[in-house]
Amino acid sequence: MLYYLFTYLDKLNIPGAGVFRYISFRSAMAVITSLFISMLIGKRIIQYLQLKQVGEVVRDLGLEGQYRKKGTPSMGGIIILASILIPVLLFAKLHNVYVILMLLTTIWLGFIGFVDDYIKVFKKNKEGLAARSKLIGQVILAMIVGVTLFSSKNVIIMEKVPVSELTARERIELLDQNRPYYAEGQVSMERKSTKTTIPFIKNNEFNYSWLVAFIPEKYRRFWTWVVFVIVVIFIVTAVSNGANLTDGLDGLATGTSAIVGTALGILAYVSSNIIYANYLNIMYIPNSEELVIYASAFIGATVGFLWYNSYPAQVFMGDTGSLTLGGIIAVFAIIIRKELLIPILCGIFLAENLSVVIQVSYFKRTKRKYGTGRRIFLMAPLHHHYQKKGYTEPKIVTRFWIVAIILAVISIVTLKIR
């Protein structure tokens, strides 16, 4: 909102109003505002939750120090949501399709998580919202994201296209713009595309249309987008639930999300800058620079929440926060065409997810075979395995953060290592 106000003031030649045109300034303001909101409302929300006795429902897992968590306020994800939404509404271009998608993701998953926490805390139902209901909500969101990216004329990338593949309309547009062809018979065009980035490969672009190359050409575009929407559904549900599983130790999911968000912000910045995109030989995504402001608010919100969520936690984010953080990361990565980097960038979430899948699958398989279920890990998710081995909670969290930083650096380095 402030962006539009100061843009109007700039037209009136008000001194200093033009500073809002710069992404760097608005991003810095988003971080500062997000941190300020976290600090300002965080303590008050915690006190309110304590007053209402909105305590965490803690299952007895036989872990040392678990008694300490009993009664700690939950639903602290409200702090994160407010700290993201308010700065974005203030400093971003709200008509930008990418910003709209990120706001929708935040509100949608925040609502699902809030309902889940409400049932657990106020209705005293440890199971919370039915898993099927949460999954349906995630799938619907993913479908909206996928279809929007498919249908919106504002979702485009700049790519080099062989002259022989240009449509008649595109040739006319080039002539009208007086743009010459490249010597090698290619021209840079802004167009809708199903390409994404694949790491460690020269000319690191993967086109979803390759997966349906066997389908007749007149149907291929439709089925390409069907495949893309299916991939989006898988990524959103996997990363969202992965973040949810990771939220088991003080500061673990919060700190990991802040690290991942920082890497995504860097990737969004270079992808939205035509000079850096050309230098790094990566996709240039017009109009995606507004995502840098969202990433800045995301980083500020998670770091600000960490002030209260670090060991020993004064508040837990609950599903209100964890489901939302994972979904935000997934949708953000998809928008900037970096979703195939998620196994590396979100390696902590992936490991937590896989540990549960492996543990449950192995237990069921051995129970059928031997009559008694056996386990690979002492306890799943993975962080509980290390707790059982005797590691202290702060040590586990810190080491997971270190691994997350390494994975984030590797993800960024993939821009040049091919």
Q: What pLDDT does 258 receive?
A: 97
Residues 6+ apart with CB under 8 A from 342: 235, 239, 329, 330, 333, 350
Q: Answer with the residue of higher pLDDT: 417 or 83.
A: 83
3-state secondary structure of 1: coil
Radius of gyration of the chain measured on its C-alpha atoms: 23
Residue 370 has pLDDT above 80, yes or no: yes
| Interatomic CA distance for residues 255 and 400, integer angstroms | 9
Contact (CB, 8 A) for 35 and 298: no
Residue 64 has pLDDT above 60, yes or no: no
**Minimal CA–CA distance to 59: which of 50, 51, 69?**
69
> Which range among 134-148, 163-177, 261-275, 381-395 shows the weakest confidence by mean pLDDT?
163-177
Residue 113 has pLDDT above 90, yes or no: yes
Per-residue pLDDT tens over the stretch 185-228: 666 667 788 888 888 777 778 888 888 888 888 888 889 889 99
Q: What pLDDT does 183 receive?
A: 43
* Alpha-helical regions (H) of 281-346: 290-309, 318-335, 342-345
Contact (CB, 8 A) for 327 and 244: no
Per-residue pLDDT tens over the stretch 299-343: 999 999 999 999 888 889 989 999 999 999 999 999 999 999 999
User: What's the token pair of residue 360?
Assistant: 């449950």
Residue 60 has pLDDT above 60, yes or no: no
Residue 162 has pLDDT above 80, yes or no: no
**Minimal CA–CA distance to 346: which of 271, 197, 240?**
240
> Cβ of 277: how many Cβ atoms within 10 Å?
18
Residues 6+ apart with CB under 8 A from 315: 42, 45, 46, 49, 72, 73, 74, 76, 79, 308, 309
The secondary structure element, H or E, covering residue 93 is none
For the segment 121-135, the average pLDDT, to the nearest whole number, is 84
DSSP assignment of 191-233 equals: E---EEE-TTSSS-EEEGGGGGTTS-HHHHHHHHHHHHHHHHH
Q: At what angle do helices 97-121 and 290-309 cross, to 10 degrees?
A: 20
| Interatomic CA distance for residues 190 and 159, integer angstroms | 7
Contact (CB, 8 A) for 328 and 298: yes
> Which range among 80-89, 278-287, 314-323 shows the weakest confidence by mean pLDDT?
278-287
- The DSSP 8-state label assigned to residue 21 in this structure reads G
| Interatomic CA distance for residues 101 and 106, integer angstroms | 9
Q: What pLDDT does 201 receive?
A: 76
Confidence of residue 356 (pLDDT cuts 50, 70, 90): very high
**Minimal CA–CA distance to 102: which of 116, 85, 90, 86?**
85
Contact (CB, 8 A) for 407 and 261: no
User: What's the token pair of residue 207?
Assistant: 């086109």
The residues pairing with 205 across neighbouring beta strands, listed in sequence order, are 197
Residue 66 has pLDDT above 60, yes or no: no
For the segment 358-380, the average pLDDT, to the nearest whole number, is 90
- Tell me the domain boundaries of the chain: 2-156+196-413, 159-191
- How do strand 195-197 and strand 205-207 relate by DSSP bridges? antiparallel
Mean pLDDT of all residues in the chain? Answer: 87
DSSP assignment of 107-147 equals: HHHHHHHHHHHHHHHTS--TT-S-HHHHHHHHHHHHHHHHH
Q: What pLDDT does 174 receive?
A: 61
Contact (CB, 8 A) for 117 and 319: yes
107 burial via Cβ count (<10 Å: 0-12, 13-18, 19+): middle
Q: What pLDDT does 414 receive?
A: 85
> Which range among 158-167, 263-272, 403-412 shows the weakest confidence by mean pLDDT?
158-167
For the segment 46-60, the average pLDDT, to the nearest whole number, is 68
Residue 56 has pLDDT above 60, yes or no: no
Contact (CB, 8 A) for 377 and 385: yes
What's the count of helices (H) and strands (E) in the chain, helices before strands?
A: 16, 4
Residue 344 has pLDDT above 90, yes or no: yes
Question: What are the two backbone dihedrals, phi and then psi, of residue 217, each rounded to the nearest 5 degrees?
Answer: -60, -35
| Interatomic CA distance for residues 269 and 377, integer angstroms | 40
276 burial via Cβ count (<10 Å: 0-12, 13-18, 19+): middle
Sign of CA dihedral 150, 153, 158, 164: positive
Confidence of residue 175 (pLDDT cuts 50, 70, 90): low
Percent pLDDT > 90 in the chain is: 54
The residues pairing with 284 across neighbouring beta strands, listed in sequence order, are 158
Q: What pLDDT does 365 receive?
A: 92
Q: What pLDDT does 185 receive?
A: 63
| Interatomic CA distance for residues 73 and 2, integer angstroms | 34
